Amino acid sequence: MRHFLIIRRGDLPLVGHVAFGIIDRGTNLLQVRPTSFCPLSCIFCSVDAGPCSLRRQTEFEVDKDYLVEYALHAVKEKGLEKAHIYIDAVGDPLTYRHIVDLVRAFKESGAAESIALETHGALLSRALAEKLDEAGLDRINLSVDALEPRLASMLAGTPWFDVRKVAEVAEYIASSLRMDLLVAPVWVPGVNDHEIPRIVDWALKIGAGKRWPPLGIQKYEVHKYGRKVPGVRPLTWREFYAQLRRWEEEFGVKLVLRKEDFGIRPAKRLPIPFQVGEKVTARVVYWGWLKGQWLAVARGRVLTVVGVQGDPPANLRVKVRVLRTKDNIYVTRALL
């Protein structure tokens, strides 16, 4: 059984968790995560998303107004007048019911240097693309992992996924809308090697990259709680970048990207109120994102509590030891 939590003002802080809210990595960009849902079960998914997930026990959705309010407060707390807003998810942001209104709210706030969104495009249509464009979306990062339909469906782990529909909308965005298109395939070595050059050529031909780079090839990585493609050895970063540079020469396009290509620069971080190894008293709130986890709150941050079993004792205060604080994402272990 999977739980579902809608997070509203007063329920939980929106800084501290990887699956929802705001992530600040010490730059002038904020990752905004309104939902954790995904319609696909990609075979390489680093966060085990979608209907076939084996590890997830809770999916999250954040109230739009609360999310925008929290993000705008974070921009000010970081000492910025404006920040790049990057809407992503441990799933797909297009599953968020209020995605158009979310984009519009950030645009109308005046605090967004740019607004970008990432998606695999399973739920994307011309009509939705037009609404997002009108609302003020500046760029859509579209993960097209193969143009061959059967291979694309296999990589997506979803029989009904039709990359031809995604490609048709992508071509419409590049040719007819104001917002930019960045094509971001995941390169799974030994599986879609032959498709990557084909995708590069296609992205250039349809006119991706009007303002930003047209492509952002992603490296397949193995993560502890993600899916592993049988028989596939992830490339080393040296191997990965060496091949990108060869493709750069072949196609005459920049593929080795830097933060500066997107106007991203270092900026003041949000305060980190814990130290690794510290013992903290936290209030348990709900089931955690993955099995064997609870959610808890302390010092204005949401914490993941690992090493637990059974139902979360809501509102009970427990002692935890802080294991991780990087990027204001907190993992703790219960001292039960």
183 SS3 class: strand
Amino acid 262: pLDDT: 97
Amino acid 291: pLDDT: 95
Percent of the chain exceeding pLDDT 90 equals 98
Kindly state the tokens that stand for 280: 């903290």
List the chain domain ranges: 3-262, 279-334
CA distances from 236 to 176, 199, 222, 233, 293 (A): 38, 22, 12, 9, 32
pLDDT tens per residue across span 11-66:
999 999 999 999 999 999 999 999 999 999 999 999 999 999 999 999 999 999 99
Beta strand pairing call for 279-287 and 317-324: antiparallel
CA distances from 330 to 40, 320, 325 (A): 27, 11, 5
pLDDT tens per residue across span 88-143:
999 999 999 999 999 999 999 999 999 999 999 999 999 999 999 999 999 999 99
Kindly state the tokens that stand for 110: 């005046």
Nearest to 85 by CA among 134, 11, 141: 141
For the domain 279-334, what is the CATH superfamily, name and number? Nucleic acid-binding proteins (2.40.50.140)
What residue ranges in the chain does DSSP mark as E strands? Answer: 3-7, 21-24, 29-33, 58-62, 83-87, 112-119, 139-142, 180-183, 186-187, 218-219, 279-287, 293-298, 301-306, 317-324, 331-334
For the domain 3-262, what is the CATH superfamily, name and number? Aldolase class I (3.20.20.70)
Amino acid 310: pLDDT: 92
Amino acid 280: pLDDT: 97
pLDDT tens per residue across span 186-214:
999 999 999 999 999 999 999 999 999 99
Amino acid 237: pLDDT: 97
Cβ atoms of residues 251 and 200 within 8 Å:
yes
Backbone angles phi, psi at 88, to 5 degrees: -135, -170
Kindly state the tokens that stand for 330: 């907190």
Distance (Å, whole) CA 268 – CA 280 = 25
Amino acid 336: pLDDT: 73
CA distances from 27 to 83, 167, 267, 321, 327 (A): 9, 32, 4, 28, 10
**Continuous segment of H or E residues that includes residue 128:** helix 126-135
Amino acid 131: pLDDT: 98
Cβ atoms of residues 60 and 21 within 8 Å:
no
Amino acid 218: pLDDT: 98
Kindly state the tokens that stand for 206: 């349809």
How confident is residue 146, by pLDDT bands cut at 50, 70 and 90?
very high
> Mean of the per-residue pLDDT values for the chain?
97
Note the pTM of the prediction, 2 decimals.
Answer: 0.96
